[in-house]
């Protein structure tokens, strides 16, 4: 019974035309005629999906030399990838009967709409290199770019099955990422073309007025995929809804090593060996500089508010404390509006080579703003708890205010000040919203550990997400433990028992005067 049902199902599948097959010769002719007519009009034209053509055929395509060739419509469907062999680390895939394999797979779930070098490029994704196959998956279609040298090396220009295999390999690797909200395997419409990466028309494809350009070196040594609308007012992110950009390298099938799952220790060692630790160094450097600034600014602000009138004290206390109650994103937005390149202050620092936004300096500013209230409140409370009579007595002895502060106030309030410093450091360590708003997410420059956790999770890298989460948990545990030990050390004298065995703070009896005389008087 099962065999008969399987035979009927196989017969039905053979009768249904396969989606994603290459267009017939007549369709290719119609696509070439339409492209030539569009080129005669002097426009870049709309991309028609289909086969990846040779350099000789590319001259007839309206999207520029080396652009897409072939059918009048896009390629549809993704072939099944059940037979694809995916490596345990999810970056290599190979398929039986395919002459090439995919390795070094990377997937970016989010791009950026910010300006690069002062110029807008619509919506951008970072590429590891210009020689990579890249695919942008949007709400309605996917755009697949193959470098011309790669297409020629693996005969993709004339082999439709090769493109189908490539789509299957990419879809299988993409499905390995758990955070995928719009996987490639569910995409029905694909636009495929080959070209030379760069700024020329050869690397561009236009779909519905939206231009996709691959392998652009917008800054020295940094390559991007750009998604641009017809004008600057066009909102690419909302109109196109790019879900992710995936890229990889093509290698000969026999050169690819599909590693299987290793033991726990071997997997941990390989993971740690390939881990990018730049978020840790950025975080420690940011927090180290920020806590020095917060320490001195907090002490100065606390001492300042103690020496002004009550009315002015209330106003300044509110100003110094308000970042603690505002959401971090609100703080980031206000700082961006105050220090952005469109302001006089921001433009001045930009001109002198010290930008205040989307730079490492911005991460320090964000950490200082959100951590300052904790330091200020701790120092203020410590100073207010000091006996004012003792301070007045020091003044009668001829001590200056500076000497009183350094020799009397700081030593007596040091326990609370130290606790406030550690708490401020912990707050700067975990800062996310304000930093992302003001500094952005630049690997090696502004990506701190909290930002790395968010984007690694969004990109489907669960292992890296857990790693950075554990790092923050360890830091947080160490901070709380230090505060507890420090508090116990500084209050140890209060907990030591008296030589007579009584409590350090015996309960008073009788009159307030206490003592032996009070006890005898009550007895009489």
The DSSP line for 384-431 is HTS-HHHHHHHHHTT--HHHHIIIIIHHHHHHHHHHHHHHHHHHHHT-
Amino acid 482: pLDDT: 83
Using CA atoms, how far apart are residues 134 and 225, in angstroms rounded to an integer?
A: 8
Amino acid 23: pLDDT: 32
Q: Across the strands, what pairs with 125?
A: 225
Q: Which stretches of 19-112 are DSSP H helices?
A: 25-40
Instruction: Name the CA dihedral angle for 339, 345, 350, 353, rounded to a multiple of 10 degrees.
Output: -110
DSSP state of 116: B
Q: Which stretches of 430-461 are DSSP H helices?
A: 433-439, 449-458
Cβ–Cβ < 8 Å for 20, 77: yes
Amino acid 273: pLDDT: 86
Cα maximum dimension of the chain = 123
Amino acid 265: pLDDT: 78
Amino acid 498: pLDDT: 55
> Please, what sign has the CA dihedral across residues 221, 222, 226, 228?
negative
Element (H, E) at 20: none
Cβ neighbour number for residue 419 with a 10 Å cutoff: 19
Cβ–Cβ < 8 Å for 360, 370: no
Amino acid 142: pLDDT: 92
Residue 18 burial class via C-beta count within 10 angstroms: exposed 0-12, middle 13-18, buried 19 and up: exposed
Q: Which residues contact 383 (CB under 8 A, 6 or more apart)?
A: 302, 303, 306, 409, 413
Query: What does the pLDDT look like over 340-388, one tens digit per residue?
Result: 888 888 888 888 888 888 899 999 999 999 999 999 999 999 999 998 8
Cβ–Cβ < 8 Å for 23, 50: yes
Cβ–Cβ < 8 Å for 297, 372: yes
Q: Which residues contact 350 (CB under 8 A, 6 or more apart)?
A: 341, 356
Cβ neighbour number for residue 155 with a 10 Å cutoff: 11
Using CA atoms, how far apart are residues 140 and 159, in angstroms rounded to an integer?
A: 25
Amino acid 350: pLDDT: 84
Cβ–Cβ < 8 Å for 363, 435: yes
Helix (H, G, I), strand (E, B) or coil at 14: helix
E strands in 160-209 = 189-195, 204-207
Amino acid 115: pLDDT: 86
Tokens of 380: 């203020």
Instruction: Spell out a b/e string for 369-394, using b for 16 or more CB atoms within 10 Å of the CB, else e.
Output: bbbbbbbbbbbbebbeeeeeeebeeb
Q: Which residues contact 98 (CB under 8 A, 6 or more apart)?
A: 162, 165, 169, 253
Residues of the chain with pLDDT under 50: 1-51, 53-73, 493-494, 506, 510-524
Q: Which residues contact 284 (CB under 8 A, 6 or more apart)?
A: none
Closest listed residue to residue 315, CA positions, set 326, 305, 303: 305
Strands 189-195 and 142-147: what pairing? parallel
């Amino acid at each position: 019974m099962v065999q008969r049902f399987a035979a009927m199902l196989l017969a039905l599948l053979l009768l249904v035309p396969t989606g994603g097959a290459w267009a017939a010769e007549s369709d290719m002719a119609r696509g070439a005629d339409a492209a030539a007519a569009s080129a005669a009009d002097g426009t870049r034209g709309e991309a028609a999906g289909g086969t990846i053509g040779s350099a000789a055929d590319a001259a007839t395509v309206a999207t520029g030399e080396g652009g897409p060739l072939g059918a009048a419509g896009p390629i549809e469907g993704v072939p099944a990838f059940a037979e694809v062999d995916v490596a345990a680390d999810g970056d290599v895939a190979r398929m039986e009967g395919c002459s090439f394999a995919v390795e070094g797979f990377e997937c970016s779930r989010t791009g950026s709409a910010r300006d690069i070098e002062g110029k807008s490029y619509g919506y951008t994704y970072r590429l590891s290199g210009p020689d990579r196959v890249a695919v942008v998956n949007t709400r309605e279609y996917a755009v697949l770019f193959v470098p011309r040298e790669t297409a020629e090396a693996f005969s993709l220009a004339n082999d439709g099955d090769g493109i189908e295999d490539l789509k299957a390999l990419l879809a299988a690797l993409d499905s390995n990422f758990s955070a995928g909200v719009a996987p490639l395997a569910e995409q029905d419409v694909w636009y495929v073309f080959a070209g030379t990466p760069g700024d020329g028309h050869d690397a561009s494809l236009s779909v519905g007025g939206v231009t996709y350009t691959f392998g652009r070196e917008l800054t020295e040594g940094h390559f991007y995929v750009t998604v641009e609308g017809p004008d600057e007012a066009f909102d690419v992110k909302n109109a196109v809804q790019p879900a992710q950009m995936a890229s990889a390298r093509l290698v000969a099938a026999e050169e690819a090593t599909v590693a299987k799952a290793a033991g726990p220790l071997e997997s941990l060692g390989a993971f740690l060996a390939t881990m990018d630790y730049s978020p840790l160094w950025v975080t420690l450097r940011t927090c180290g500089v920020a806590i020095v600034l917060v320490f001195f600014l907090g002490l100065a602000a606390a001492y300042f508010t103690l020496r002004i009138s009550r009315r002015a004290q209330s106003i300044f206390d509110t100003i110094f404390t308000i970042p603690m109650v505002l959401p971090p994103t609100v703080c980031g937005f206000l700082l961006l509006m105050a220090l952005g390149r469109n302001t006089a202050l921001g433009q001045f620092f930009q001109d002198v080579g010290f930008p205040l936004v989307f730079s490492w300096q911005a991460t320090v500013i964000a950490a200082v703003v959100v951590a300052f209230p904790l330091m200020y409140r701790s120092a203020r409370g410590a100073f207010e708890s000091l006996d004012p009579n003792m301070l007045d007595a020091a003044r009668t002895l001829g001590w200056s205010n500076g000497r009183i502060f350094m020799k009397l106030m700081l030593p007596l309030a040091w326990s609370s000040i130290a606790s406030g410093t550690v708490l401020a450091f912990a707050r700067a360590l975990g800062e996310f919203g304000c930093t992302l708003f003001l500094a952005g997410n630049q690997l090696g420059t502004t990506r701190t550990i909290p930002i790395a956790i968010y984007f690694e999770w969004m990109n489907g890298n669960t292992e890296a997400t857990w790693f950075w989460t554990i790092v923050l948990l360890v830091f947080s545990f160490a901070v709380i433990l230090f505060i507890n030990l420090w508090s116990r050390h500084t209050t140890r004298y209060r907990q030591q028992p008296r030589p007579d065995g009584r409590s350090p703070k015996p309960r008073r009896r009788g009159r307030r005067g206490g003592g032996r005389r009070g006890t005898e008087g009550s007895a009489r």
